[in-house]
């Protein structure tokens, strides 16, 4: 009979870094180029569902129709929910503490998480109106919107 060996479980604390290139696709490229070059925020309308998505996407989440058109949305919007991040992780683009909020832009039916700034935590509320502050040195990514601030 074969002898069985057992060992206690153990944990290894390690961090992995993976470098790579990401292609945003045709719709993402249009979105990030407009954000970088014109400070315009684009959404994609679904004429079947009568919804506008932000950030833009190529396929409707509800009916799976192909989405080809873009419309300018925002730039103002409304805070749908928010949280205070109190810890720092290497993946965070900011050092804690900072505020994240889901922002539903005017003209859009979906929201997206982004930073809130120029506001104290006890002044933030659901329904608060906000506007974007664009980065001075835009690179063609979502951080071209540096953060949203109260109107």
CA nearest to 111, candidates 77, 65, 140: 77
User: In this structure, are residues 92 and 85 in contact, taking their beta carbons and an 8 Å threshold?
Assistant: yes
12-61, pLDDT tens digit by residue? 788 778 787 878 889 999 999 999 999 999 999 999 999 999 999 999 99
* Dist CA 86 CA 96 (whole Å): 5
For the entire predicted model, the pTM comes to 0.83
141: number of Cβ within 10 Å: 15
Provide the pLDDT confidence category of residue 5 given band limits of 50, 70 and 90: confident
Tell me the per-residue pLDDT of 113-146, one tens digit each, with 9 for 90 and over.
999 999 999 999 999 999 999 999 999 999 999 9
Domain segments of the chain as ranges: 25-150
């Amino acid at each position: 009979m074969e002898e069985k060996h057992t060992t206690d479980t153990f944990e290894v604390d390690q961090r992995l870094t993976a470098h790579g290139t990401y292609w945003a696709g045709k719709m993402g490229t249009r979105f990030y180029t407009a954000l970088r070059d014109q400070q315009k925020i684009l959404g994609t309308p679904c004429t079947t569902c009568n919804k506008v998505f932000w950030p833009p996407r190529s396929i409707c989440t509800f009916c799976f129709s192909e989405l080809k058109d873009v419309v300018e949305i925002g730039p103002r919007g409304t805070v749908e929910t928010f949280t205070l991040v109190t810890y720092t992780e290497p993946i965070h683009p900011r050092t804690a503490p900072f505020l994240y909020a889901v922002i539903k832009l005017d003209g859009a039916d979906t929201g997206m998480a982004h930073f809130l700034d120029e506001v104290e935590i006890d002044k933030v509320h659901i329904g608060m109106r906000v506007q974007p502050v664009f980065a001075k040195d835009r690179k063609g990514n979502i951080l071209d919107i540096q953060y949203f601030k109260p109107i």
